[in-house]
Chains A and B, each alone.
Chain A
Amino acid sequence: MNILFLIAALATFWLWMSPQTIIAAQTDPVAAKILERADTIRNPQGDYVVHVRITDYKPEKPPKVAEYEVLVKGRDRTVVKTLAPPLDRGTTMLMLGYDMWVFMPSIRKPLRISLQQRLLGEVAYGDIARANFSGDYVPRLGKVVERKGVPCHELELTAVNEKVTYHRAKLWVATEDNRPIAAEFYAFSGKLLKTCTFEDYRPEKGVTRPHRLVLRDPLKEGYYSVMEYIHIEERELPGKYFTKEYLDKLRY
């Protein structure tokens, strides 16, 4: 009986000390508010459609361009439609939470895939489809530093679970208005995977948002991808658009 009690106690202690519990216990409300505000500036928080152009640059090579139409509903439902190049047109990706499917015209059925599959260049599917940091990461407020000549709050972000694209991230947001200025993304090993800068802030229906993200590979000089938001339209989107059975019906 004593042994059983000890096992039960140890099990309870282990569950209580599990990563999710640890992260929850360390949530910083001030940091959480700053992160939410940054997300609101990055993207509309309701349903919206955004036309995205990704240009991939490598030294001494012509840039590669792809265009997508991204439909977003709430925090965790996204559809990415490939508009260009013509060879890939019609390929559609659906993300529900951390579950992903891809539809290819040559197969004509949705196939379930993992979040780690790459989209183009330095951009993973998770980069384009996971719209918000809050919800994916638990923030901790660090010091105030200057990035790109702008005084910034430094936020340390830790993934809420192993399914998030990056295990850890750092985000710098302007102290003045919480607009994102730069970010760094890390693997579980601590290796820096990519850096990101938020640029070309322009008003969009009364809200000033970044219209360009530049993602770089820190290990490869001259390797970077530019994600441009060509057009953002807020409108209600039917829930059925975000089902795998609807992927072959989306209009191109």
Chain B
Amino acid sequence: MRFLLKYFFIVVGWFFGASLLFLGPTSAEGNTFEWPVVHGYIKNETAVRTASDTQLTKSKNILYLSSIYPITPDITLHVAGRFFYDATFSLTNHYNEVVREDQEHEAALRQAYVHASMGNLDLKLGKQQIVWGEAVGGLFVADVVNPKDLREFILPDPAEIRIPVWAANIEYFLQGIYLQAVWLPIVEFNDLPEPGTEFYEYPVGFSTTARSRTPREPPRTLGNSAVGIRLSRMIHDWDLGAFYLYTYDYFPTRFLTLTPSLLIIEPSYRRLHILGGTFSKPVGETVFKGEMVLNLGKYFSTHDPMDSRGVTKKNSLDYLLALDRTIWGRLDCNVQWLQHIVLDHESSLIEKKTRSYVSTWFKTDFLDGRLEPEFFFVFGLDRGDLLLRPKMSFRWGGRWKVTVGMDVFEGSSDGDFGRFDSKDRVYAEISRSF
């Protein structure tokens, strides 16, 4: 327990230490120190796998703290941190040491940035989430700036999946036009499940006798930073956006090296140009929305013997079309169509030319908003696999929330969802907000 207390006090300590560092005059009271108001929640998430051998797979205890401290009327400090401890590793022996090290406990700074507002110009410097796109339900298309924590696949909330990045974020608001420029001096990459974790899956298309090395990240130099721009504008009731991001592919490219006795997979990260656009438009009570991303120079694994390293460069297109509507004044609905297309596809590529998905989401409430049933479903058309996510939340006292639900994976083992067919689980969460 001692090391847990150590991490707990580290989180709380830097949280208040960061606030104390910015002691200074408040907006109206002069040199008066005010303790920052702290909000957050404490939460337990417990999950039990129900398919194949039933076992406890998660018992995570989470403390989340956040605060905003006004340094001057136009400059604020935003700080948030999260600490968790997963008791599964104390209660069971299901996971190996690598997994324990990766997932047993974590103290993370979720945001730490200074926001300065200067007329029509806003500047955010520090650790933050930069969110582009219109999609919901864990289906990320235009949400390209932040890498993702995929250790639990796409099951956590999007704000939890996104990994905050150190960035300079400049925004300019001008007469209905919005301009944004971002610079990420240190590029971070997707956090992928370690072998042995619940949602680890051996790379599709590779022999299980191949040896995979740890992904090699590029050196953290200015030359390896990421930059991007975004423009957004309302034209009549069309909400339109366009963006460009020069970054790295946050998934590693699996370069192959063939030795006399062994095939070695050497993952490393490669540069990527990303062009994209978004739109939304209401038609009556329905909101239509969409987003599109063109990845230029993305690497794909191939069986072509002419590509000695086992990879080839292609361009790919991802797009999403969605509609949102509230039916009978009570039932919120969303339907999405998503497609991923490899342009100039060749038969030697391991990945298929297209992957298509349909998703639906429904949510309503009963008992004066205290009971909230919710249902999310996504179906992969090419492989006939699916993910079902029914859940029920109960709210009381304005602070407590209990959620019970299921995550059900079905279908072909080479599908994005079917590959977790044996990982169906039921879960319960209880949280108290403050």
In the complex, the answer to whether A108 meets B324 with C-beta atoms within 8 Å is: no
B225 within 8 A of A: no
CB interface residues, B 111-129, toward A, < 8 Å: 115, 117, 119-120, 122, 124, 129
Contact partner, A111, options B285, B324, B326, B400, Cβ 8 Å: B324
Q: Are A87 and B282 in contact (CB under 8 A)?
A: no
* B173 in contact (CB, < 8 A): yes
**Contact assessment for B399 and A114 in the assembled complex, using a CB-CB cutoff below 8 Å:** no
Q: Which residue of A lies closest to B128 (CB)?
A: A248
Chain A residues numbered 101-117 whose CB sits less than 8 Å from any CB in chain B = 105-109, 111-114, 116-117
Instruction: Tell me whether A86 and B398 are in contact (CB under 8 A).
Output: yes
Q: Is the CB of A107 within 8 A of B329?
A: no
Known: A86-B433, A114-B325, A118-B329. A107 touches B178 (CB 8 A): no
Tell whether A109 pairs with B70 under 8 Å between CB atoms, given A89-B39, A116-B285: no
Chain B residues whose CB sits within 8 angstroms of the CB of A251 once the complex forms? 68, 70, 76
Residues 210 to 252 of chain A near chain B (Cβ within 8 Å): 238-240, 243-246, 248-249, 251-252
Q: Is B415 an interface residue (CB 8 A)?
A: no
The A165-183 residues at the B interface (CB cut-off 8 A) are none
Q: Is B136 an interface residue (CB 8 A)?
A: yes
Q: Which residues of the other chain, B, contact A50 by a CB distance below 8 angstroms?
A: none
- Report the bound CA distance from A89 to B399 in whole Å: 10
Tell me which of A65, A97, A117 has the highest count of chain B C-beta atoms within 10 A of its own C-beta: A117
Q: Is the CB of A89 within 8 A of B433?
A: yes
A116 touches B131 (CB 8 A): no
A243 B136 Cβ-Cβ under 8 A: no
Residues of A within 8 A of B158 (CB): 106-109
Distance in angstroms from A188 CB to nearest chain B CB is 12
B173 touches A245 (CB 8 A): yes
Given contacts A61-B368, A114-B282, contact A245 B232 (CB under 8 A): yes
Q: Is B159 an interface residue (CB 8 A)?
A: yes
Complex Cα spacing A88 to B286, Å: 24
Whole-angstrom distance from the CB of B127 to the nearest CB of chain A? 14
* A74 touches B (CB below 8 Å): no
Not counting A114-B287, A251-B70, a sample of 13 additional A-B residue pairs whose C-beta atoms are within 8 angstroms of each other reads: A85-B397, A106-B157, A106-B159, A108-B129, A109-B131, A112-B324, A114-B286, A116-B329, A240-B122, A245-B232, A246-B173, A249-B117, A249-B124
Interface pairs A-B: 5 shortest CB-CB = A85-B398, A240-B173, A86-B433, A109-B131, A106-B157
What are 12 A-B pairs with beta-carbon distances under 8 A?
Answer: A87-B400, A99-B234, A107-B159, A108-B158, A108-B159, A112-B280, A112-B289, A114-B287, A248-B131, A249-B117, A249-B124, A252-B39
